């Protein structure tokens, strides 16, 4: 099985032309439609079925920016289970502070305080997005960064974002009182 980018014959990239991706997906969906191969030998039918499945999986993964990022990082062996996924300590400290403030609000709810924490987490998220954008845009042609360093930066961004999303979920739960 070729990797999803090779399958679609496009360079590995974090930012894709979504329209082009979709039209390739439709083109391959038609090309690998099992009905066209109904009279072919069993193994040909099996092969077409595999290609059709790979097309669906590739499109599902590549059309979603977060899944695409996760896929690229996994392809480069950077998101291994039990691998070193540590985050910078200053970021973790900041997140621990936010989590503590949220825990306090569970016992002593304060809407203004919750709003403030929400603003803070959105600010951190916006900053993350801003910082990573130039890396995503230029990848893998990065001046002054090797491909490995760039991927490392994307990995850190990805893990930070996952962490922040968990905090934002807690904020949303508190806000709706569920």
Closest CA relative to residue 171, chosen from 108, 98, 107 = 98
**Global model pTM greater than 0.85:** yes
The answer to whether residues 30 and 23 touch, using CB atoms and an 8 Å cutoff, is: no
Confidence (pLDDT) at 178: 60
Banded pLDDT at 26 (limits 50, 70, 90) = very high
What residue segments make up the domains of the chain, in order of their start? 4-75, 89-176
The domain defined by 4-75 carries CATH number 1.10.287.110:
yes
What topology does CATH give the domain 89-176? Monooxygenase (1.20.1280)
**Residue 28: closest CA among 10, 42, 12:** 10
Residue 116 has pLDDT above 80, yes or no: yes
């Amino acid at each position: 099985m070729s990797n999803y980018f090779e399958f679609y014959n496009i360079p590995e990239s974090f930012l894709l032309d979504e329209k082009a991706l979709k039209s390739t997906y439709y083109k391959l969906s038609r090309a690998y439609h099992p009905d066209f191969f109904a009279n072919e030998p069993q193994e040909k039918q099996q092969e077409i079925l595999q290609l059709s499945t790979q097309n669906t999986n590739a499109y599902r993964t590549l059309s979603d920016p977060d899944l695409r990022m996760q896929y690229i990082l996994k392809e480069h062996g950077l998101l291994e289970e039990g691998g070193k996924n540590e985050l910078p300590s200053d970021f973790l400290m900041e997140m621990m502070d936010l989590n503590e403030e949220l825990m306090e609000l569970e016992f002593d709810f304060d809407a203004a305080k919750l709003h403030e924490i929400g603003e803070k987490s959105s600010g951190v998220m916006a900053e993350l997005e801003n910082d990573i954008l130039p890396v995503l845009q230029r990848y893998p042609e990065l001046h002054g960064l090797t491909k490995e360093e760039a991927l490392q930066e994307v990995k850190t961004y990805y893990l930070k974002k996952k962490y922040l999303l968990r905090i934002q979920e807690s904020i949303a739960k508190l806000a709706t009182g569920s």
